[in-house]
């Protein structure tokens, strides 16, 4: 009976083993010109839809041919825009970030904002914003960051980039970013995702754990009755 109890205890422990976590970081350093991000990072389980542009800085040491922004140690960023680099139409734009395997606990990023932003970031449990019909797990309205001054046409610059973190409960699968055309840049997006060898428990694992728990209790009652 002791052997049976030990085996059941081991099954219970395995089924309830806490999920491990990895951090997926997107810094857009592989962007060499303005490009709709789309499935560029599909190998990391991340895809973009809507007005999401990967852009390169034209400031030293990044080289020519990019946009007017600067960020120490970085030459790439994510821009909310209808068409990157063209005159803004002052209209609302949006994009969605889908994370296939989901992410947990928090979503963090670096951002720069120009005036007239109206930027809202929402985290949803479902893909594609859960159809935008379900309640978001977290909502963040971003205020203006300090404006770049005395450096020509640069619109996003150090030290005006700000780090922000959105914390939430549950498992999220998408982020929806809304704001005014070419008024927001993001960088260093970080998602805490379930690790490949330790994903969040599936329903079958939960059922196994409950079964093992019940069997363990039954075994112990039989032992006590003897």
Is residue 164 within 8 Å of 211, Cβ to Cβ? no
Residue 169 burial by Cβ neighbours in a 10 Å radius (0-12, 13-18, 19+): exposed
pLDDT for residue 216: 47
In 3D space, the residue among 86, 87, 48 whose CA is nearest the CA of residue 177 turns out to be: 48
Average pLDDT over residues 174-199: 85
pLDDT digits (tens, 9 = 90+) for 113-152: 877 678 999 999 999 998 666 889 999 998 777 777 656 6
pLDDT band of residue 64 (cuts 50, 70, 90) is confident
Q: Mean of the per-residue pLDDT values for the chain?
A: 80
- Under the banding of pLDDT at 50, 70 and 90, the label for residue 81 is very high
168: pLDDT strictly greater than 80:
yes
Residues 6+ apart with CB under 8 A from 182: 79, 80, 81, 82, 84, 88, 114
Q: Report the alpha-carbon angle 115-136-90, nearest 5.
A: 25
How confident is the model over 38-66, as a mean pLDDT? Answer: 93
């Amino acid at each position: 009976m002791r052997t049976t109890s030990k085996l059941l205890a081991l099954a219970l422990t395995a089924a309830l083993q806490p999920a491990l976590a990895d951090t997926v970081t997107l810094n857009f350093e592989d962007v060499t010109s303005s490009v709709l991000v789309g499935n560029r990072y599909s190998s990391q389980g991340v895809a973009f839809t809507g007005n999401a542009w990967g852009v390169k800085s034209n400031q030293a040491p990044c080289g020519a041919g990019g946009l007017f922004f600067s960020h120490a140690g970085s030459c790439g960023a994510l821009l909310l825009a209808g068409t990157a680099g063209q005159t803004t139409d002052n209209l609302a734009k949006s994009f969605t970030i889908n994370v296939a395997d989901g992410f947990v606990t928090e979503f963090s990023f670096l951002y720069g904002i120009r005036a007239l932003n109206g930027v809202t970031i929402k985290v949803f449990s479902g893909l594609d914003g859960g159809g935008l019909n379900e309640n978001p797990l977290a909502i963040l309205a971003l205020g203006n960051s300090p404006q770049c001054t005395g450096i020509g046409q640069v619109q996003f610059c150090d030290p005006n980039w700000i780090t922000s973190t959105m914390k939430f409960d549950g498992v999220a699968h998408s982020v929806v970013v809304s704001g005014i055309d070419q008024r927001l840049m993001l960088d260093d997006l970080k998602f805490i995702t379930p690790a490949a060898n330790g994903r969040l428990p599936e329903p079958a694992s939960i059922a196994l754990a409950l079964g093992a728990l019940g069997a363990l209790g039954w075994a112990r009652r039989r032992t006590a009755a003897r």
